[in-house]
């Protein structure tokens, strides 16, 4: 069953143009956070999509550290071809995006069944994006591959990359076919684009090339 995604649309005016100048670090917050609403800025915990306090990832689980390790390993593996570093300590300087993993949608006033939130910036003009995956609302079995895959799809959306509409594609965020049931892979040319996406520029795309255009490749 596909879990719905909350997406705030903002600043749409074309496809992502970040190129290799885009942020090359993504900070993963797993210990809970309070987000304020305003102009998107990971450095100040400001989101243009949601506001409120999100609880830590799986804080009630005895094997929490193992679940964290599995999720981080999956994130590292998914982005390995790209010039993007996953970190769990907030950078002191420089640009970075933030993925918040934890909490539930009801903690920020959203309906149960919402899987994540990301503000769409089609021109990729705003640095330091904030993406949220409401991981605590997912079944325990989702930890690792599924949560990591959804996080990367949200990251792509935040950079203005269109959502694909292909199950288990790493950029499938808002498409009706988005399943996120296993570790995602980046599709190639001809991958269908979600009909709901505000940043789409045609019916198909190449997810690998789109993500590389923002982050570059190793």
Residue 18 reports pLDDT greater than 80 = no
What pLDDT shows up at residue 17? 39
- Residue 33 near residue 90, CB atoms below 8 Å: no
Beta bridge pairs of residue 71: none
Residue among 112, 119, 120, 115 at smallest CA distance from 149 = 115
Q: Residue 43's CB: how many other CB atoms inside 10 A?
A: 16
Domain that holds residue 124: 4-215
Strand partners, 25: 85
What is the rounded CA–CA span in Å between residue 116 and residue 102? 10
In the sheet with 52-54, reading across from the earlier edge strand, the strands are 46-47, 33-37, 52-54
Residue 198 banded pLDDT, cuts 50, 70, 90: confident
Q: How far apart are CA 29 and CA 103, in angstroms?
A: 11
CA atoms within 13 A of residue 73's CA, in its CB half-sphere: 9
Biggest alpha carbon–alpha carbon distance for the chain? 47
Q: Mind listing the pLDDT tens digit for each residue in 21-41?
A: 444 899 999 999 999 999 999
Distance separating alpha carbons of residues 65 and 173, to the nearest angstrom? 27
- Number of compact structural domains in the chain: 1
Q: CA-CA distance, 119 to 97, in Å (whole number)?
A: 12
Average pLDDT for 181-204: 93
C-alpha 82/C-alpha 24 separation (Å) is 9
Can you tell me the distance from the alpha carbon of 23 to that of 80, in angstroms, rounded to the nearest whole number?
Answer: 15
> Could you tell me what percentage of the chain is helix, strand and coil, using 3-state DSSP and rounding each to the nearest 5?
25, 25, 50
Give the pLDDT score at 113.
80
What's the pTM? Answer: 0.89
Q: Which of 194, 190, 132, 185 is nearest to 158 (CA)?
A: 132
Q: For 146-179, what is each residue's pLDDT tens digit?
A: 999 999 999 999 999 999 999 999 999 988 899 8
């Amino acid at each position: 069953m596909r879990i719905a995604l909350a997406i705030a649309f903002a600043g749409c005016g074309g496809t992502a143009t970040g190129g290799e100048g885009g942020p090359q670090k993504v900070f993963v917050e797993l210990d809970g956070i309070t987000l304020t609403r305003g102009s998107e800025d990971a450095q100040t915990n400001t989101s243009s999509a949601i506001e409120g306090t999100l609880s830590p990832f799986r804080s009630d689980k005895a094997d929490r550290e193992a679940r964290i390790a599995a999720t981080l390993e999956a994130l590292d593996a998914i982005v390995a071809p790209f010039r993007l570093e996953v970190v769990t300590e907030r950078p002191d300087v420089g640009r970075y995006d933030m993925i918040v993993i934890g909490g539930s949608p009801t903690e920020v006033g959203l309906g149960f069944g919402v899987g994540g939130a990301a503000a769409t910036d089609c021109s990729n003009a705003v640095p330091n994006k904030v993406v949220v995956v409401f991981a605590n609302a997912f079944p325990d079995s989702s930890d690792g591959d599924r949560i990591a895959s959804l996080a990367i799809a949200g990251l792509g959306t935040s950079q203005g990359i269109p959502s694909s509409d292909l199950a288990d594609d790493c950029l499938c965020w808002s498409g009706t076919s988005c399943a996120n049931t296993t570790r995602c892979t980046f599709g190639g040319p001809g991958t269908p684009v979600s009909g709901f996406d505000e940043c789409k520029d045609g019916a198909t795309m190449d997810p690998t090339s789109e993500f590389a255009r923002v982050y570059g490749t190793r």
